[in-house]
Amino acid sequence: MSEGLYTAHNLWILIATVLVFIMHLGFASLEAGFVRKKNTVNILFKNAMIIAIGLLTYFVCGYGLMYPGDGAAGGFFGFAGVGVAAPGDLDSLLAASAEGFSMPSYTDFIFQAMFAATCATIVSGAVAERIKLGPFLIFTTIFVAISYPITGMWHWGGGWLAEMGFYDFAGSTLVHAVGGFAALAGIILLGARKGKYTSKGIKPIPGHSMPLALLGVFLLWFGWFGFNGGSVLSADAATVAKVFVTTSLAAAGGTIGAFVISYVMFKTHDLSMVLNGILGGLVGITAGADLMSPFAAIIIGLIAGAIIPLSVVMFDKLKLDDPVGATSVHLVCGIWGTLAVGIFGDMAGLGQLGIQFIGVAAIGAFTFVIAFVIFYVLKVTVGIRVSEEEELKGLDVSEHEMSAYPTSEALAYNLNVQ
């Protein structure tokens, strides 16, 4: 491989890394828009901490657990060691890429590290407005350091699911459903926000800024070009272009699916449903973005978008309170997108569908149990939920002693406590 071609491949992965990093700004904006203004600083603080925790834990042990090397091929667990080895000089890198692009270890690490923190970000939105900051950060550290990379190794690290033939191109299950399963465990143990489920029925608790939520969704869509496009793991022009097309068409399909079904169900044009429909389409296509035809991508996105309002209603009927709809978007649509690999595209067939189901079930069971245990231990030791008074006051004041939108009342409160 020529030096110029090698540089082009490497540069594209690094650009994709930047795009995935921007997704964290998207998550922060979306989650901030979907929570009440009295909890805005808290959700932004968690998103700022998550990316730092994700990078550090992935460097210390996550990368070694997720990519343990040939010794753990076909297995359930392995560890290559702390940190990441230096990639070597240019001549050795070019020699390794003689028959196809071999990514430098530093490039591979930083690209994968951006994915790692995404799981915890998904959890952040689902448990918003009532979880203690300290226990959440402890959960994030343990989960990203251990649980996420182990299940990632099962497929992307050459583990037993890879040997079986399971396929998840960019992480409908390995990233999104994993975050969704962890979020579900947290929601169950944490309980609903005060006043959400009453004797008179379900009380909507709208977010404070739909413009901020919309900005977040479009930042996420923008970043998804790197999330999926970078997962080609080279700058192969045809494949990257195909992934861009299928990713965008699925997002558009998700928009229409959520728009139609939410109107049929609620007889109103609900922007929050449409925004989550976009994300549902993006999550749904992520497992098979490189395999699907444009038409199949539209169908996958349409179904994912249609799932959103149905799933939101289902979780509400189960009294599982999710302020941002993360479980519907990332868990339910992540499962759908992974199963869709066995229904559409180059790998369609009952055999592949069965393998996809086994992969989802195994990853889901492991993730849910690990997350449940972590949250449960925190609950019975330090506690995971703020007091009723703190929840009513808002986490911005009770956890941070500040407000995202200072008012005369908030400023007066701050003056009184100083």
pLDDT digits (tens, 9 = 90+) for 240-252: 999 999 999 999 9
Q: What is the pLDDT of residues 130-143, one digit of tens each?
A: 999 999 999 999 99
Q: Give helix then strand counts, H and E, for the chain.
A: 19, 2
Lowest mean pLDDT among 113-122, 142-151, 309-318: 113-122
Whether residue 411 has pLDDT greater than 60: no
- Taking all residues of the chain, what is their mean pLDDT, rounded to a whole number? 93
Which domains does the chain possess?
Answer: 3-385 (1.10.3430.10)
Whether residue 223 has pLDDT greater than 80: yes
Q: What secondary structure letter does DSSP report for 349?
A: S
Q: What is the pLDDT of residues 39-61, one digit of tens each?
A: 999 999 999 999 999 999 999 99
CB-count exposure of residue 70 (10 Å: 0-12, 13-18, 19+): exposed
Mean pLDDT confidence for 341-359: 94
- The Cα 43–Cα 52 span in angstroms is 15
Q: What is the pLDDT of residue 69?
A: 83
Mean pLDDT confidence for 286-293: 97
Whether residue 347 has pLDDT greater than 90: no
User: In whole angstroms, how far apart are CA 238 and each of 16, 234, 244, 295?
Assistant: 16, 11, 10, 17
- The Cα 53–Cα 140 span in angstroms is 7
User: In whole angstroms, how far apart are CA 43 and each of 3, 146, 226, 259?
Assistant: 44, 24, 24, 27
Bigger pLDDT: 6 vs 16: 16
Q: What is the pLDDT of residue 418?
A: 40
- The Cα 200–Cα 324 span in angstroms is 23
Decide if 335 contacts 360 (C-beta within 8 A): yes
The sign of the CA dihedral 73, 79, 84, 86 is: negative
Confidence of residue 1 (pLDDT cuts 50, 70, 90): low
Q: What is the pLDDT of residues 143-179, one digit of tens each?
A: 999 999 999 999 999 999 999 999 999 999 999 999 9
The string of DSSP letters for 220-268 reads HHHHHHHHHHGGGSS--HHHHHHHHHHHHHHHHHHHHHHHHHHHHHHSS
Confidence of residue 284 (pLDDT cuts 50, 70, 90): very high
Q: What is the pLDDT of residue 96?
A: 72
Q: What is the pLDDT of residue 37?
A: 93
Whether residue 120 has pLDDT greater than 90: no
Decide if 216 contacts 27 (C-beta within 8 A): yes
Q: What is the pLDDT of residues 363-386, one digit of tens each?
A: 999 999 999 999 999 999 999 999
The sign of the CA dihedral 383, 330, 167, 120 is: negative
Q: What is the pLDDT of residue 2?
A: 80
Whether residue 264 has pLDDT greater than 80: yes
Rounded percentage of the chain residues whose pLDDT exceeds 70: 96
Whether residue 72 has pLDDT greater than 80: no
The sign of the CA dihedral 391, 395, 398, 403 is: negative
Lowest mean pLDDT among 74-78, 188-192, 278-282: 74-78
Whether residue 414 has pLDDT greater than 70: no
Whether residue 101 has pLDDT greater than 60: yes
> b vs e for 31-41, b when ≥16 Cβ sit within 10 Å of the residue's Cβ?
bbbbbbbbbbb
Q: What is the pLDDT of residue 289?
A: 97
Confidence of residue 71 (pLDDT cuts 50, 70, 90): low
**Model's pTM, two decimal places?**
0.93
Confidence of residue 398 (pLDDT cuts 50, 70, 90): very high
